[in-house]
Structure formats: C-alpha cells, structure tokens
Amino acid sequence: MFLLYIGLDGADLGAGIFALFSKDEEERGAIMASMAGFWDGNETWLVVAGGVLFGAFPLVYGSAFNYLMIPLAVALWAIISRAIAFEFHVHAIGSKRFWGWMFAGGSLVAPFGAGVALGAALQGFPMAHGMALESVPGAHASAFDAVPHFSGNALSFLSPFSLWTGVGAVVAASLAGGLYLCARFLPGDPIHQRAKAWTSGFSLVALAAIAVTLIWSYAIFPWAAAKWTGPDWWFWLAWLVIILGFAYKSMMAHAEQRDFTALLWGEGVVAQLWIALWATMYPYIVPETWTIQSAANPANSLAVFTLFMTGFVPVMILYNWYQIWVFRGRFTKKSVYGGH
Amino acid sequence: MLLENTMPVLLSRLDFAWITSMHILWTPMTIGMSWLLFALEMAWLKTGDERWYKLNRFFEKIFIINFGAGVATGVTMEMAFGILYGPFSQAVGPFFGNILGFETITAFMYEAGFIGLMVFGWGKVSKGMHAFATFNVGLSSTLSAMWILVANSWMQSPNGVVLKHGLFQVTNWWHAILNDNFVWGFPHMWVACLELALFVFAAVSSWFILKNRNADLFTKLLKPTLLALLIVTPIQIFIGDTLGRDVAMTQPTSLAAMEGHYHTYLPNGKVNTGWHLIAFPNAKNDGNSFAITIPHVLSLLETHTWNGKVTGMDSFPAKDRPDVWVPFYAFRAMVAIGFFLFFVALWGNWLRLRGQFNAQALRKHPWFLRSVVFSGFLPYLAIWCGWWTREIGRQPWVVYNLMRTYQGVSHMSVGQEIFWFTGYIVFELVVWSGAWYFFSRVIRKGADDIAPSESLFHHPDAGETDAGRAGGGFAKPTFAKPTMDKSR
C-alpha cells in the first residue's frame, strides 16, 4: 500500500516541487491540471495505507503515530494544504498566486516530513508498560497495561539521521516529479524542456543520496550492518547491482526521450529500494521495537482482514487504472490551462 | 467521573471533540448530496430537460468543495486517533482498526476512484458511464458512513468481543458489526445526511427565488425537494425515537444524562415518570437543583407506557456517570430542530396544495422562503447536537463499560496537547473559512454561466489536447497508446 502511494504520489509531489520554481501561475496551473483526475486517487492510497496499518498492525499504529506525531502532522498538513490548493486554484481569481504557492510549498514539505518520519521509525523508540498517562487520580492497574505504549517525548524523533532521510525523500520525489512531467507534456513544450534538465540533474543527486543513506545506515544501525555483511552478503550486493541497473536504464531511457519508459524504470528503483528496506528490517516492523509477529493483529482478525483485502485490491487497481486511462494523453502548457 | 478529567484527559477530549465536530460538517453533506446529484442526473437523462443538467452542474461545484474539505479533515481525524489516543488505538485495534481499514478500502478508495470520473469526466466518458460513476459515488459514500457508524456504535455497545492480553479480540464478527446501537444508529445518521442535503437544496433554491435570480429554474428544484422532505422528516423523527429507546436499553447512563433523569423512584416509592423540559443539574451530579417537569412523558417516550420504569442515574456509582449539561440540552435542541424541519416541510407542501408554487406566488410568502433558507443551517446544528449527545453521553467510558477514557489517552504533556489543539483549531478554521468563501462565491455566481450540455462534446478546446481528442462522449482512443509512443 505504502509502496503504491510512494510510487504514484511521489510523482505528483515532485511535480509540485518543480512548480515551486515555475515563473508564472499559468505554468503551475498547467502542472496541476495535468494531474487532475488522478492525483486524488493517488492521495487516497495514503489514507488506505493508514487504514490498513491500523487494521493489520494496530499496536504499531497506536504507538508509532504517538512517537512520530510532529513529522507526520507536518507532512499531513502539507498534503492537505496542497489538496485544498488543488480544489481552490481553479476557482480562485485574486488568490490564484497564493494557492499556487500553497500547492508547491505543500509538495516540498510533505515528502520532507514523511522522510523524517521514516528515518525516525528506523531508529526505534522507547516503550513502557502501564498507563500511558500518569497523574490520573483514582487510576488503577488494568488489563490494558499489558500492551506497551510509547513513552518518550514529542521531540524523540529528532536526529541528524532522520533529518537527512527527510532531505533524501525530497530528492527522490523531485526526481520522480521530473520523470512524470517529461512523460506528461509534449516534447518541445517549455515545461517539458525545463523538466528534462531538472530530471537529468536530480538523477545524479539521487544516486549520491542513496549512497550516503546506505553508508550512514550501515554505520549506525547494527541490525542493518549485521544483515548486509552477514553470510548472505553476496545476495545484498547482487540486489544493489540490480537497483543500479534499473537506475541506469531509467537514465538512458530519459536521455533518449523515451519518457514513459524512463518513468517506469524509475518507479522500479523506488520499489526495489523499498522492498530491500523491508527485507533488511525483517523480522522487525519497527526496528528493535516491534517485530511483525508481536505487532500484528490477533490471528482471527487478521485472517478476516486479509480475506477482505485480497478481494478488493485488484478491483481498486482496476478502477484506478481506468481513471488514469481516461485522463491519459500528453499536455501542453497552453491547452490544459484553457481547458478547465 | 470529574476526578478522572485531569488536564491532559480533558484536553484530549476537547481536541478530539473539535476535530470530529469540524469533520462532521462536511461528510454528511457529501453523502446526502451525492444521491441527490444522481437523482438530478437521472432526471436529465430520462426527460432530456436541460434544466436538470444545469442544476446538477451547479450543485456539483458545491459538492466538490465540500468533498475536498471532508477529505482534508478526515485524514486529520485518522491521524488524531494515533496521536491523541494511542493506547485506545492499540487496544481496540483488532476490531476498530479493521473496520476503519475496511472503510478506507471498500468505501473511501471506491469513492475517490469514481469522484474523479464524476467531476472531470464530463464529455470524456459516455453519459451512461457518467451516471454510473455518480451512482457509485453515492453508494460508496453511504458505505463509508456505514463503516464509520459500525465503529462508533461499537464503542457505544461493544458486542462480540472479549478482552484478552489487553486487546479487544473479536469472538463474533456479526455481533460486533451489527451491534445493538448500529441497527438504529446508522439509519438515523444516513437519513440525517439526506435531510441535510435536501434542506441545503431547498435553502439555496429559496435564496435564489427570494433574490429573483434563476427563479423558475430553482422553483422547479424546490418542488420535488419539499415533497421528498415531507417523507423524510417524519421518518427521521420515528427513527430517532426508536434509537432513543435502544439507548435506554443498552446505555442507561447515557439516556439518563440525555433526560437529566437522576432518580429511578420518587421519594414516595413510585416510579419517577417525569420528563424535564428544563433542568439545572447540581454540582455533585446527583440531582437537579431546578427543573420544569411534566409527569408521565418520560415513561411514554422511552417505554411507550403510562408508568414504565426508566433507570435513573442513582442506579450507578458516581464515578460511572456522565456530565448532564451537554447531552441534556444538545438532545433537546436536536429534537426541536427535527420537529421544526417537519413543520417547514408541511408548510411548503400546504402552499403547493393551494397552488402557490410558482416563483411569483412564492415571493409573496417571503417568510416561508426565509424559513427555508434558515432551515438550510439547522440540520448542521442538529447533527452536531446529536453527535455531542452520543459522545458525551458515553463518558466516562471510551468503550462503554469496558475501557475508561483516561486509559486510552496517549502519553503527552499538557503543553504538547495545547500545541496540538491550537494547531488543529487554526487548520480546521482555514479549511472552514476557505470552503465557505468558495461556497458563497459559487452561489453568488448563480447558474447562468453553466454551458449547455452539448458543449461537453463540442467545446473549443476539444482537439487541442489529446485528452480532448479522445472525447466525443466516449473514452475510446483515437490514437494508439499515446504515452508510450517513441516518436512523440
């Protein structure tokens, strides 16, 4: 779920970051219009991901949201101001500039907050048994004390590493956005031209960011270091080579103006990295804090949930695809803006 | 009860009350309005009358703004569970989390999928496909309300679970989902959504008739709307009454608070059947310091008998009693609004029977039109009042009789909570004022600038973009695989 969200929304968040550097409102409007019809579909994957997390891993949901409240709230408010800007930009007359900036700014802050949250989650967090809120008179020991709760304070999440992962997420989104815009606008259009240069630049920055993140993680996370240099080191190395191969394919396709292919390879890199991250963390879902086993919903609930899910996910993908299909096709700066 | 309301608990409650109250301003309207938009679209397709199309497109603008605000505040709410009520989220996760998960998958996602088609799909998909999309938006938003009410009703009457290892584990899914409160709670909420949307339609129509703009168009809408309200408003009163008796059975403390009913028996040993019109509960929360009481009415209302016994607050220990002020007065306000709206529906249909139903004649009844405009806001207030009654009546429990509110609150300092509260207030007010600004803009603009429906397929931009070229009413591509084409 999160993967789908990152894959789909990363692109339109990145396009928003791109819009931050747009010279006029017309260009921002065109970029926004190019996403009309499915950006909301992308956003909803986030809500679905949240819902599924609550359903499948309520213990993580309850404790991690408490721990990550500041970065998640920042990301959330950014996403929402962006969503509102989407709705209002078309209607607005005098305040068009304001909504344009809300859209672009929100697109920048959202991946940053989400990246910080991810980095912070990798660090694990303090847990305690007993009542989460002390100081209630007449409180007594209860059955609920059996479940450990988050027990740190509001700023526990903050560290150089988590800030760095925030920056990393912005870089990744920027790259995805560039790839998306290239695929979305007609070659020769001013937006396409600028997006091309943007994408080439960010490809290199993104590669550097991946390298830094890997080295840093290796240095500070014993669980990651143990996996990567354990007996299966050749497997991880091979995986890394495959990821680099994907990135190379994407850059090549981009250079040859096969924009849609480039976008697909780019999404492939994101998917590979994401799966590699989960594989590194296994059996933990939050490193050193919750293992998948202990955090999962009790078995009988989970069975029902999975049953329900597996039936619906293909249907959802189907109508999402239909939606993207209906609104497919390339745009130019002028035409889109006049059309809506 | 008051003892447990330390500052952090109280702030968490206030914070969440604020978040839900702001969210519930938007979603009921989305749910009700989606069905009405579908009705308008069907009327257009069946009769070919362009006016239905115009009305549809006009209200669709309001719908979109409303939907956006609903999603924004809804995502906030989803997060607020984890942030403010971490331990609660963990303990109820096996049931509550699953239900919210189901909601996002089977309803929210479903809705979002079709809403894009509905809003941006005009002229890009066939008319039939578009109507199908609108229908699905209605269906999915109703499903969404259903799941949310499953979750909330379960907190009122937690059936089908056992408490094991600090978690509520489901023993019977059917009992848990179709819990006692849900059976009437959901219809009550759903009809409220419909009633709200109908009154907003009626209020906007009346406003236009009063201003003498597009008056004939909106009179055409007002007719069926008022007829529908004549059916819906009394049904809502009936469902509300049934739900009230359901609450009396499953949540006696909540009902006692709604009615300010402290004593099961009078001092002389007889059953206390008195219904309070006005009551001032005393500070110790064990009786009213002042009340205007009508004998027998409470028994009539709750048991439908002359002398039926209704359990009073004194049957429960002081620490298990909710506060009375809010449920008591919120409940009364809701009921009063319910009856007033029924009266407005009667009034309108009476004018109609007397042949007063054309724009000119209606303007001779400005007080009727003003009442309808005013009635556009009342359902919002009624929904608020109903929700407050429900949520405060359940206190001091977050899951009735099983988990106390303070046990579910996250590990947070007072400063942190104030920070959150302020943040949410600012944020929700921005959403609220933004939405209202655009509502009023849309309404002031009126229905004149809505292009005729043929323009969907022959607009000047058609052909300029690939998307336009693909138009002509069907999603059939006029070119092959556009985005994968190398030469482009």
Where do the domains of chain B lie? Answer: 19-178+412-449, 185-397
Is B199's pLDDT higher than 70? yes
Which of A35-44, B196-205, B280-289, B452-461 has the highest mean predicted lDDT (pLDDT)?
Answer: B196-205
Strands (E), chain A: 127-128, 149-150, 284-286, 290-291
Higher pLDDT, B28 or B469: B28
User: What are the chain A neighbours of B488 within 8 Å (beta carbons)?
Assistant: 186-187, 330
Size of interface A-B (CB pairs under 8 A): 308
Instruction: Tell me the per-residue pLDDT of B307-339, one tens digit each, with 9 for 90 and over.
Output: 888 888 888 888 888 888 888 899 889 999 999
Is B38's pLDDT higher than 50? yes
User: What are the chain A neighbours of B104 within 8 Å (beta carbons)?
Assistant: 44, 47-48, 50-52
User: What are the chain B neighbours of A63 within 8 Å (beta carbons)?
Assistant: 86, 90
Task: Please answer yes or no on whether A332 and B108 come within 8 Å at the CB atom.
Answer: no
Task: Please answer yes or no on whether B101 and A305 come within 8 Å at the CB atom.
Answer: yes
pLDDT tier for residue A8 given thresholds of 50, 70 and 90: low
Tell me which residue in B64, B90, B420 faces A87 most closely, judged by beta carbons.
B64
CB A103 within 8 A of CB A19: yes
Is B387's pLDDT higher than 70? yes
What backbone torsions phi and psi does residue A199 show, to the nearest 5 degrees? Answer: -65, -45
Task: Please answer yes or no on whether B403 and A36 come within 8 Å at the CB atom.
Answer: no
User: What are the chain B neighbours of A180 within 8 Å (beta carbons)?
Assistant: none
Is B471's pLDDT higher than 80? no
User: What are the chain A neighbours of B93 within 8 Å (beta carbons)?
Assistant: 54-55, 57-59, 61-62, 297
In angstroms, the separation between the Cα of residue A239 and the nearest Cα of chain B is 28
Tell me which residue in A91, A151, A323 faces B438 most closely, judged by beta carbons.
A91
Q: What is the pLDDT of residue B379?
A: 92
Which of B48-57, B363-372, B375-384, B423-432 has the highest mean predicted lDDT (pLDDT)?
Answer: B375-384
Best residue in A32, A34, A40, A67 to probe B by mutation, most B CBs within 10 Å?
A40
The runs of H, that is alpha helices, within B121-275 are: 127-156, 173-177, 180-211, 215-250, 252-259
Measure the CA angle with vertex A245, ends A244 and A251; round to 5°.
90
Tell me which residue in A55, A86, A334 faces B98 most closely, judged by beta carbons.
A55
Tell me which residue in B85, B319, B488 faces A330 most closely, judged by beta carbons.
B488
Is B378's pLDDT higher than 50? yes
In angstroms, the separation between the Cα of residue A18 and the nearest Cα of chain B is 21
Higher pLDDT, B383 or A121: B383
Is A83's pLDDT higher than 80? no
State the Cα–Cα distance between residues A81 and A40, nearest whole angstrom: 13
Shortest CA distance from B96: residue in chain A = A55
Q: What is the pLDDT of residue B259?
A: 85
What backbone torsions phi and psi does residue B292 show, to the nearest 5 degrees? Answer: -105, 120
Torsion B421-B151-B384-B371 (CA) sign: positive
User: What are the chain B neighbours of A73 within 8 Å (beta carbons)?
Assistant: 79, 83, 420, 423
CB B203 within 8 A of CB B362: no
Q: What is the mean pLDDT of chain B?
A: 82
Percent of chain B at pLDDT > 70 equals 92
CB A301 within 8 A of CB B92: no
Higher pLDDT, B461 or B341: B341
Is A308's pLDDT higher than 70? no
In angstroms, the separation between the Cα of residue A109 and the nearest Cα of chain B is 16
CB B173 within 8 A of CB B154: no
State the Cα–Cα distance between residues B241 and B343, nearest whole angstrom: 17
In angstroms, the separation between the Cα of residue A195 and the nearest Cα of chain B is 16
The tokens for B454 are: 């043929």
Element containing residue B403 per DSSP (H, E): strand B403-404
Q: What is the pTM of this model?
A: 0.80
State the Cα–Cα distance between residues B223 and B357, nearest whole angstrom: 8
Q: How many CB atoms lie within 10 A of CB B472?
A: 16
Task: Please answer yes or no on whether B475 and A325 come within 8 Å at the CB atom.
Answer: yes
Q: How many CB atoms lie within 10 A of CB B450?
A: 18
Helix, strand, coil percentages (3-state) for chain B, rounded to 5, are: 70, 5, 25
Tell me which residue in B96, B465, B484 faces A260 most closely, judged by beta carbons.
B484
Task: Please answer yes or no on whether B170 and A313 come within 8 Å at the CB atom.
Answer: no
pLDDT tier for residue B475 given thresholds of 50, 70 and 90: very low
Q: What is the mean pLDDT of chain A?
A: 73
Q: What is the mean pLDDT of residues A272-296?
A: 73
The runs of H, that is alpha helices, within A185-291 are: 190-220, 222-228, 233-255, 259-281
Q: What is the mean pLDDT of residues A292-313?
A: 65
In angstroms, the separation between the Cα of residue B393 and the nearest Cα of chain A is 21
Is B191's pLDDT higher than 90? yes
First to last CA, chain A: 31
pLDDT tier for residue B472 given thresholds of 50, 70 and 90: very low
Best residue in B57, B90, B403, B416 to probe A by mutation, most A CBs within 10 Å?
B90
User: What are the chain B neighbours of A187 within 8 Å (beta carbons)?
Assistant: 488
Q: What is the pLDDT of residue B31?
A: 92
State the Cα–Cα distance between residues A318 and A115, nearest whole angstrom: 29
Shortest CA distance from A307: residue in chain B = B102
Q: Please name every residue paired with B276 in a beta bridge, in sequence order, or none if there are none.
A: B293
Task: Please answer yes or no on whether B86 and A86 come within 8 Å at the CB atom.
Answer: no
pLDDT tier for residue A43 given thresholds of 50, 70 and 90: low
Q: What is the mean pLDDT of residues B344-355?
A: 87
Task: Please state whether A62 falls in left (phi above 0), alpha (psi between -120 and 50) or beta.
Answer: alpha
Sorted by sequence, the CB contacts under 8 Å of residue B217 that are 6+ apart come out as B51, B54, B55, B208, B447
Tell me which residue in B106, B120, B461 faces A312 most closely, judged by beta carbons.
B106
**Which of A33-37, B397-401, B483-487 has the least mean pLDDT?**
B483-487
Tell me which residue in A144, A146, A153 faces B403 most closely, judged by beta carbons.
A144
Largest CA distance in chain B: 95
Instruction: Tell me the per-residue pLDDT of B261-273, one tens digit each, with 9 for 90 and over.
Output: 888 888 887 888 8
Q: What is the mean pLDDT of residues B346-375?
A: 85
CA-nearest of A77, A81, A152 to A121 is A152
Tell me which residue in B87, B89, B466 faces A329 most closely, judged by beta carbons.
B466
In angstroms, the separation between the Cα of residue A208 and the nearest Cα of chain B is 29
Which value does ipTM take for this structure?
0.73
User: What are the chain B neighbours of A300 within 8 Å (beta carbons)?
Assistant: 169-170
pLDDT tier for residue A164 given thresholds of 50, 70 and 90: confident
Look up residue B96 and give its DSSP letter.
I
Q: Which residues of B366-388 are buried (b: 16+ CB within 10 A; e: fewer)?
A: eebbebbbebbebbbebbbbbbb
CB B262 within 8 A of CB B256: yes
Q: Verify cis geometry, omega within 30 degrees of 0, for the bond prior to B252.
A: no
Task: Please answer yes or no on whether B94 and A76 come within 8 Å at the CB atom.
Answer: no
Shortest CA distance from B413: residue in chain A = A153
